[in-house]
Amino acid sequence: MRLQMFQLWKARRGRKSILATLAPFIEGSEARLGRIPATAWHNAYVLGFLSLLASLEARITLEGSLSSLALGLIQAETIAALSGESASVHGEEILTLSMEDDPQFLSGCNQAVSFHAALQRSYRAFVEPGRSAEWKSDMPYLQDDLDALWREMFEEKVMSLS
């Protein structure tokens, strides 16, 4: 019982951290595109992209193993918080798409891996010790690259759904 409670606590902590990372990207998308349509939050690609991104970020943030229940909660609750919709609906959709090996869902997952790798490179640029001041001056370019990648991997897909 204590282990399950600990996993749930880790899931909550992970979700908060992931939301702090993803919310600015979603807010930027909504500033550029207007409100993200409800249908986008149920699209197989978008669910694959955001759910795996949440999982990858959780594993880094929480530095340790997570139960599949905790990962499932992180995925569903992260998307629910971003969309303003029910976590249970998103959780069921993610599970179904994953079990069916839906090609669009898997495509979103693959893109999430690429985006997460870029996100991790940008994090290291800010915290890696021993970097020179000249190298640090390149930080805005890293953020610009990350924003461009987000527009390509998320916003273009959302726009194509309209």
Q: What is the CA radius of gyration of the chain?
A: 16
CA dist., res. 54 & res. 35, Å (int): 21
pLDDT at 47 over 60: yes
Virtual torsion, Cα 143, 76, 161, 36, nearest 10 deg: -60
For 68-77, what is the mean pLDDT? Answer: 87
> Could you tell me the pTM of the whole model?
0.83
pLDDT digit string, tens, across residues 81-101: 999 999 999 999 999 999 999
Question: What pLDDT score was predicted for residue 54?
Answer: 93
